[in-house]
Amino acid sequence: MGRQTLTPLSKNVSGWYNDVVLQSGLADYGPAKGTMVFRPYGFALWEKVQEVFNKAIKKKGVENAYFPLFIPYSLLEKEADHVEGFSPELALVTIGGGKKLQEKLAVRPTSETIIYSMWKKWYQSWRDFPVLMNQWANIVRWEKRTYLFLRTTEFLWQEGHTAHTTEKEAKEMSLWALEEYRKLYEELFAVPGIVGIKSARERFAGAMETYSVELMMPNGKALQGATSHELGQNFSKAFDFTYQDKDGKSAYPWQTSWGLSTRSLGGLILTHGDDKGLRFPPMIAPIQVVIVPIIGDGDSKVTEYVEKIQDVLLKQDVRVKIDERDCSPGVKFNEWELRGVPLRLEVGPKEIVEKTVTWISREDGERGIFNVEDISDQVKQQLSMIQKQMLKRAHKSLMANTTEVNNYDEFKKKMKNSRGFLRAFWCEDKKCEENIKNETKATTRVRLLNEKKETGKCVYCGKKSSYRWNFALAY
C-alpha cells in the first residue's frame, strides 16, 4: 500500500477515485462483473453508519426485521409502475437445487412488494398502526459499468418501510427520514446536503412523491445521497392491503419507504479527498489517530511511551493505532495520509524528554504539541475541531458550486464548464425537463423544501414559473 502512484485529484477526479479506493484498501472489484468487495477498512465505514442510523431509527420506534432476498416475479408485477421501473435491472434465479424453477425469482432490487405482501397478512386493525420497520440488506440492480461504491450490481443499504392511517402522518414520517439522512451526512460525514422534492420524472417507480438529499461532488456533479418516498396508497391498493378503522370500515394505509446505501460512502470519499489521498472526518474514521514512533524500532522506552498513550486514548473510546512496522517514518506518513487518518501523533526522543507528542492534522497539515498529561482531552478536542473544519470546507465548496442562472445560454455555458448546482426557474413541464436533459445532460435534482415561491420565467421555454429548481449533472 502507498507505494503506487496516486492520480492527482486536481487533474482527474475519476482516476483519483479509483486509485484511492484500491490503494487505501477500502474496496476491490469482485470476480463477477459489477460486484465489489468491501475490505475491512471500507466496511468499517458502513458499520459506523449502521451504528448511528440504528440509534436514530430505534429512538423513533422503528424496528429492524429481515425479509427474503428472493421475490417471485409475479409479486413484483403487482404494482405496474414499479415493475416497469425495475425489470430492466433484475438478476433472475431460474435454477434451484439442480432444477429449472417454475417461476423465476428476482433477487431483490428493493423490497416494497415482498414486505407489503406480508404486512397485508399481519396487520388488519387500526390498533396495529403505525407500522414502522427497517431492514439492512444487500440489493441487486444490474449495472454494466462498475464504479466502486457508487455504481455496483450488488450494494448494501437500509430500507425503512412504514404504514400509517393518515396521509399527514405518512408525509411527516417521510420528511422525518429525509431530515435524519441530512443530519447523518452533515454530522457523521461532514458533508452538507441540500434537501428537496424530486420532479415527477425523477420519482421512485411507484411513489407519489420522492424527496432526496443531494450532494455536490468536487467535479461539479451531483450525487443523490438518499431518498425518502411518500408511496401514498399506490402499493396498499396494488396489494389489497387494508385494515379496519375505528368505525369498523375498511381502509387502505398510507405508506412510506426510505433508503440510504453504500453509495453514500462514495460521496464521503469524493467530498473530502485531496491529492494526497483520503481525508476522513473523525466521527466516521475507522482509525482516528495513528501514533508513529520516529526513532529506531526496538527501543523499549519508546514502545512503553506510545503504548501508554494508546491505552489512555482507547479508554476514552478513541480509535487509535500504533504503527510500529519496520519501515521509515516517511513511508508511514504517506500511507496514513493516503488512508485519511485525521490525526497523526509523532513520538521522538525530544517528545519523550518533554513528555509531549507532536500532532499533525490530516485536514490542513497544521501541527502542534500535546502534553501527555492530559492527552485524551486534547486529542478529543482536536478531533472535534477537525470535524468542524471539514464540514466548513465542504460547505464553502457547496456554496461556491451553486449558482443562480436566469437564461438558457448562461445555463448551457455553466453546465459545460464549472457545472455545479444551477438554480433556475422551471415551469415544471416534462417537455422542458427532457429537452434540457437532451441538450445539456443536466437533470432536475430537487426543488428545495424551503424554496421560496417567486414569479419567474422558465429557463427553457420562458413560461411563467413559481419556483427555482436545482439542476445538475448526475454522478
Binding region for a copy of itself (CB under 8 A):
28, 30-32, 35-40, 43-44, 46-47, 63-72, 75, 87-98, 104-105, 107, 114, 117-118, 121-122, 127, 133, 137-138, 140, 142-144, 153-154, 156, 325
- Rounded to the nearest whole angstrom, what is the least distance from the CB of residue 25 to a copy of itself in the complex? 8
CA distance 71 to 27: 29
Pick between residue 127 and residue 452 the one whose CB is nearest to a copy of itself.
Answer: 127
Task: For the CB of residue 119, give the shortest distance to a copy of itself in the complex, in Å.
Answer: 10
Could you tell me the smallest distance in angstroms from the CB atom of residue 257 to a copy of itself? Answer: 17
- Considering the complex, state which of residue 75 and residue 432 has its C-beta at the smaller distance from a copy of itself: 75
The answer to whether the beta carbons of residues 272 and 394 sit under 8 Å apart is yes
Place of cell 403487482: 78
Helix (H, G, I), strand (E, B) or coil at 137: strand
- Alpha-carbon 77 to chain mean position: 29
Distance, in Å, from the CA atom of 394 to the CA atom of 389, rounded to the nearest integer, reads: 9
**Beta carbon nearer to a copy of itself, 47 or 275:** 47
CA dihedral 429, 432, 433, 439 (to 10 degrees): 170
Sign of CA dihedral 138, 34, 40, 46: negative
Residue keyed to cell 441540500: 194
CB-based contacts of 43, cutoff 8 Å, min separation 6: none
Shortest Å, Cβ 272 to a copy of itself: 22
Instruction: Read off the C-alpha cell for 102.
Output: 417454475
Report the 10 Å Cβ neighbour count for 433: 23
3-state secondary structure (DSSP) of residue 47:
helix
Q: Give the DSSP letter string of 253-287.
A: PEEEEEEEETHHHHHHHHHH-BTTB----TTT-SS
Cβ nearer to a copy of itself, comparing 319 with 412: 319
Q: For residue 177, give the C-alpha cell.
A: 427520514
> Minimum Å distance from CB 140 to a copy of itself?
7
Specify the residue, 141 or 171, whose C-beta has the smaller distance to a copy of itself. 141
d(C-alpha 453, C-alpha 209), whole Å? 19
Cell 422558465 appears where?
458
- Residues 344 and 290 sit within 8 Å (Cβ to Cβ): yes
Q: How far is the CB of 61 from a copy of itself (least distance, A)?
A: 11
- CB closer to a copy of itself, 68 vs 368: 68
In angstroms, how far is the first alpha carbon of the chain from the final one? 28
Closer residue to a copy of itself (CB): 133 or 386: 133
Query: Shortest approach of a copy of itself to residue 235 CB, angstroms?
Result: 15
Q: Where in 394-466 does DSSP place strands (E)?
A: 402-404, 421-426, 443-448, 456-457, 464-465
Q: Please say which residue, 27 or 178, places its beta carbon nearer to a copy of itself.
A: 27
Nearer to a copy of itself, 212 or 255 (CB): 255
91 vs 449 by CB, closer to a copy of itself: 91
Q: How far is the CB of 147 from a copy of itself (least distance, A)?
A: 15
Minimal distance, residue 117 CB to a copy of itself, in Å: 6
In single-letter form, the type of residue at position 107 comes to V
The residue among 89 and 167 lying less far from a copy of itself, judged by its C-beta, is 89
What single letter denotes the amino acid at residue 49? V
Residue 194: strand pairing partners: 214
- Minimum Å gap between C-beta 389 and a copy of itself is 29
Omega cis (within 30) before 130:
yes
| Rounded least distance, CB 99 to a copy of itself, Å | 9
Q: Which 8-state DSSP code applies to residue 332?
A: H
